[in-house]
Amino acid sequence: MALKTISESRCFGGVQGTYSHASTATGTEMRLSVFVPEEGTRRALPVVVYLSGLSCTEENFTVKAGAQRYAAELGLIVVAPDTSPRGPNVADDPAYDLGQGAGFYVDALQSPWAPHFRMYSYVAEELPALIATNFPQRPGALGIMGHSMGGHGALVLGLREQALFGSVSALAPIATPSQVPWGIKAFSAYLGPDAALWRPYDATALIEDGHRRADVLRIDQGEADKFLGEQLRPEVFAAACERAGQPVEVRRHPGYDHGYFFVATVIGDHLRHHAELLARR
């Protein structure tokens, strides 16, 4: 569980750091960014994990979202891991939506991906243990959120790992990956042609198959998002939740696209949502 410090900088009274460690889940060196408010020097704090989208690293969210100001005010530690394993011996693909940078938060079953592409286990098991060991986390106070591919990951992990994650939210998530081109391509490569093996990694399918949370699933979506109709489909997820009686809130924002200006616009509301729910744990 040893961390290597890549950089640390003062930020809104706290420390914004970038770190790496040898991952047992992926068999590679993994990077993550962590913001710890100044309050973390005096007491243990809740933690929110942010999962980034296709082609991103841990840096995109860290430098573009403006989360540190809100996290400092709310007393939240914010952790942003990389989106996939990386390295010269890790399988890759020329396309941006497969391979390194596109882990899709699944545990791959197919060659050549299976040896390293185990992002589900990394986020569900290794990363929480790493955080608890190295940072001042209040025991049991862990939330998860994400954007696009990371929103898919956050919804799936939040539904499957309820004992671990006390709060869940998503920004422009790939909400029904088994029915859209990005998800079909990734799941076919990583998991194989049997669609039954895709269902544990599809938030809509998880709702259909009986997974529930007592708290509201918060989603924000820009209406000018060019990926909305073909790749994201939050209305399909919302309809499944309505049929199942799962509380969900999909807030739509006219004029906003898929990028980090949208993320920066709503990040404060999401972190306040997590702070409120995690305060109860």
- Assess whether pLDDT exceeds 80 at residue 262: yes
Mean per-residue pLDDT for 127-140?
97
148 catalytic? Reply is yes
147 is catalytic: no
> How much of the chain exceeds pLDDT 70, in percent?
100
Residue linked to tokens 């079953």 = 109
Question: Is residue 273 among the annotated active site residues?
Answer: no
| pLDDT value, residue 30 | 98
- Provide the mean pLDDT of the chain: 97
Per-residue model confidence as pLDDT tens digits over 205-237: 999 999 999 999 999 999 999 999 999 999 999
pLDDT surpasses 80 at 1: no
Question: Among residues 116, 152, 211, 258, which one is catalytic?
Answer: 258
* pLDDT > 90? residue 70: yes
pLDDT for the residue 144 = 98
Q: What is the pLDDT of residue 33?
A: 98
Structure tokens at 211: 């997974």
Give me the mean pLDDT over the 31-36 stretch: 98
Q: List, for residues 178-204, the tens digit of each pLDDT value.
A: 999 999 999 999 999 999 999 999 999
User: How high is the pLDDT of residue 281?
Assistant: 84
DSSP string, the chain: ---EEEEEEEETTEEEEEEEEE-TTTSSEEEEEEEE-GGGGTS-EEEEEEE--TT--HHHHHHHS-HHHHHHHHT-EEEEE-SS--STTS---SSTTSBTTB-TT-B--STTTTTT-BHHHIIIIIHHHHHHHHS-EEEEEEEEEEETHHHHHHHHHHHH-TTT-SEEEEES----GGGSHHHHHHHHHHH-S-GGGTGGG-HHHHHHTT---SS-EEEEEETT-TTIIIII-HHHHHHHHHHHT--EEEEEETT--SSHHHHHHHHHHHHHHHHHHHTT-
pLDDT of residue 181: 98
Question: From the candidates 23, 52, 148, 169, which is the catalytic residue?
Answer: 148
Which is catalytic among the residues 23, 202, 225, 273?
225
Cα of 168 vs its chain's centroid, Å: 9
